[in-house]
Amino acid sequence: MELLFLGTGAGVPAKERNVSSVALQLLGERGATWLFDCGEATQHQILHTAIRPRRIEHIFITHLHGDHLFGLPGLLGSRSFQSGETPLTVFGPKGIRAFVETALAVSGTKLRYELNIVEIDEGVIFDDERFSVIAKRLDHGMPSYGFRVVEKDLPGPLLVERLQALGVRPGPIYQEIKQGKTVVLDDGTVIDGREFVGPPQKGRIVAVLGDTRFCEAAIELARDADVVVHEATFAAAEQRLAHDYFHSTTTDAAEVARRAGAKRLILTHISSRYQGEAALQLVAEARSVFPNTELAVDFASFSIPRG
């Protein structure tokens, strides 16, 4: 599991930062990539990475402002020419269906794969045997959502050394034991599989938040998360400006992570007014509140280990 930032700027593209998009790489977990937002030129940014558009399984759009959305029709169309044949689902606020369908229809774009569009509300918006995704509405000038990605706990590891000490050789019986079944060996020995499986491996939690003022919903989404991705459009001294434009400061983001008991915070959606040393000052401000803070730049990647 890895976060790869494709665009970390706010509002308009800049030389050093493209507009918003971040990929959650789940290649080991499900052989797929999930995108969160798809600002203009996201597909160009992808060309500089190892991401394969055909592996993009889900795209989550936080809100319908252009800097989070305008790259979506192009990416969807190009995927058809890049061996993309598996289904893809776009999740987003009400209006996302009209935007995508109109753009594809007016441009005469024909997709070679099944495209599903889900207009979301608060609650569980995706759930399968490995992951669930919860959405909550944040505090922005238009409906804007944050997403809590929860990896479900994995079964504990099979205690192979203990089995081998009993003379149990590898084979189909190992699978039965790992499932916790009771098995009988050839010599009549009865083994309770539950005694030969380690404790479950705790699933990871990633919170990716859309544009927002400081709010309780952000804290709830970030609760005990391994990583929180939070906008920090403005420096701490610009609190009034941030509030007026429905955005957050560096210390707002840090306070969300602190109150949520999160393990790690990554700042993104940075205004182009902060370049060079000014950008470094942003992360210093956040660390004064929440020490384990990092500042995302375009193409930065952050692995998310277990434990």
| pLDDT tens track for 85-101 | 999 999 999 999 999 99
Output 252 or 154, whichever has higher pLDDT: 252
230 in a known ligand binding site: no
pLDDT in tens, 153-193: 988 889 999 888 888 888 889 999 888 899 988 888 898 98
Give CA–CA dist 27/2, Å, rounded.
9
272-277 long-range contacts, Cβ below 8 Å, gap at least 24?
272/9, 272/10, 272/11, 272/12, 272/14, 272/17, 274/235, 275/16
Is the predicted pLDDT of residue 108 greater than 80, yes or no?
yes
Q: Do the beta carbons of residue 27 and residue 57 sit within 8 Å?
A: no
Write down the pLDDT at residue 104.
98
pLDDT band per the 50, 70, 90 thresholds, residue 10: very high
Is the predicted pLDDT of residue 307 greater than 80, yes or no?
no
Architecture of domain 1-151+201-301: 4-Layer Sandwich (3.60)
**Average of per-residue pLDDT across 142-160:** 94
**Average of per-residue pLDDT across 223-227:** 98
The boundaries of every CATH 3.60.15.10 domain in the chain are: 1-151+201-301
Active site residue 67: yes
Per mean pLDDT, which range of 107-121, 159-173, 253-267, 287-301 is the poorest?
A: 159-173
Is the predicted pLDDT of residue 25 greater than 80, yes or no?
yes
Q: What's the whole-number average pLDDT of the chain?
A: 96
**Average of per-residue pLDDT across 217-232:** 98
Q: Any idea which residue has 């890049």 for tokens?
A: 82
Write down the pLDDT at residue 154.
87
244 in a known ligand binding site: no
Catalytic pick from 67, 226, 252, 298?
67
44 in a known ligand binding site: no
Distance of CA 247 to the CA centre of its chain: 20
58 in a known ligand binding site: no
Is the predicted pLDDT of residue 255 greater than 90, yes or no?
yes
128 in a known ligand binding site: no
Give CA–CA dist 273/291, Å, rounded.
24
